[in-house]
Structure 1
Amino acid sequence: MTGFHTTGAALRAAFEGTAYGPPGERFYLGQHDAGWAPPWAAGSRSWAIVTAWNPHGLRHPDSHNAEAARRLLVAWASPSFPVVNGEEPWAEEALLLPGACLRDAVTLGRRFRQAAIVFGVGRRTALVWLDGDLHLTRAWAIPALPYTGSS
């Protein structure tokens, strides 16, 4: 597998332009409220999406990603659900962490050397950038067409 790495504006665009969530309930990050909330975000419930795949935006072998995903599942002792970040050829397994607090999600993201995580409260979402000081790209959850790729 060849390596792939994006930095700066290209990395931001990749994260901001991808779909997140479980098949059939995926969403994009949008600048306008569509009046839709992910089913797991009822009311003002907090949630996060964290992956262990492809640390720092560098493509890693599938075997490395699978082992990292297993370690992420072990590290998060609370309920979680499998989801997909992105689309082929850059679809990554991730975990949806319902009820997660921002601190715990950031800790996991940094532990698995991620560039960013997705954090939400209800339908309000943010990309939380983990490089150096935390900074946010605030957004709304916008429903996506169902994901049809493999994961």
Structure 2
Amino acid sequence: MDERLRAAYLATDYRVRLPQGGVARLRIGAPPPGALLALTHGVPWAVITAWNPQSQPVPRARNRSAQRALLAELRASPDVRAIRAAAGVGADGWREPSLLAIGLDADAARVLCSRYGQLAFVAGVGEAPPQLHWTKAAP
């Protein structure tokens, strides 16, 4: 496991855009904010992306195309109750568009993330702290 990459994922601030404006800020291992709990109503959720497969930068057009395909898959999933815009923001200012999929459990998120070449994703359920999950593609 690449410890620098692991540390970067753990230090990322995961931000979910709220319907009423503003953001809910998620940190791995910290209690989820009340605004997230109000959105998810105790069902599983995952913050996922199709940007930068294998944590390697790719052209913006390719990232956008992959993200649109991921969004279409989430919209077609019978388990996904709602989707919210999100972003991962690194301590050094790095930013990656993401999606909060409400109703998507960690097993289903792992399948999707693996399909899009992602190394990891964040998932949770209820009041449990968000957890970092590695895909099988992880180093």
Fold shared by both chains (TM-score > 0.5) = yes
The aligned counterpart of 2:106 is 102
Alignment length (residue pairs) = 124
The aligned counterpart of 1:115 is 119
**Whole-angstrom distance in 2 between the partners of 1:99 and 1:21:** 18
The aligned counterpart of 1:68 is 66
RMSD, matched Cα: 2.2
Identify the structure with the greater helix proportion.
2
**Whole-angstrom distance in 1 between the partners of 2:15 and 2:33:** 14
Shift of 1:101: 1.8
Give the fraction of aligned pairs with identical amino acids, expressed as a percent.
31
The aligned counterpart of 2:44 is 46
TM-score, length basis structure 2: 0.78
1:50 partner letter = I
**Whole-angstrom distance in 1 between the partners of 2:137 and 2:120:** 11
**Whole-angstrom distance in 2 between the partners of 1:58 and 1:117:** 15
Contact conserved, 1:21 with 1:85, CA < 8 A, in 2?
Answer: yes
For 1:80, which of 57, 80, 83 is the aligned residue? 83
The C-alpha deviation readout for 1:44-70, integer Å capped at 9, x for no partner, is 321111100000110111111111111
Shift of 1:123: 3.0
Q: Which 5+ residue runs of structure 2 have no aligned equivalent?
A: 18-22
TM-score, length basis structure 1: 0.73
